[in-house]
Amino acid sequence: MLELFIFHLHILAGLYAFTKYWQNQCLRDGFLALAVVALVFIVGWSIATSIAEVIYPDSINSYYFSKDALSLVLLIIPEIFFFYFFFIKADKKKDETIAV
């Protein structure tokens, strides 16, 4: 269940990135932003799965929390910082320079 929620958060992040760059620049930049989100997700999930396999014991698996859920939780922590600096903070800097 937790995995589904985190997947939906990634879909929303991809849609936000696509829409933001599509409206501010052009359609091509929207697709590039979507590709960046997908690339970070794919590479990050591969690394997080390797870490989760090492630290999560097999005996604790349940319906609600498993190795995949742990790997997605480990993935979302650095992604929050990445998305903040790549998509949100860059937009705030642009607004401050326009206002001055």
Residues in CB range of 56: below 8 A, 6 or more apart:
67, 70
- The string over 62-84, giving b where at least 16 C-beta atoms fall within 10 Å of a residue's C-beta and e elsewhere, is eeeebbbbbbbebbbeebeeebe
Q: How far apart are CA 54 and CA 39, in angstroms?
A: 23
Q: What's residue 97's pLDDT?
A: 62
Q: How confident is the model at residue 36 (pLDDT cuts 50, 70, 90)?
A: very high
Whole-number average pLDDT of the chain: 87
The answer, yes or no, to whether residue 59 has pLDDT greater than 90, is no
What mean pLDDT do residues 3-32 have? Answer: 92
Q: Is the pTM of the predicted complex or chain greater than 0.85?
A: no
**Higher pLDDT pick, 19 / 89:** 19
Q: What's residue 2's pLDDT?
A: 86
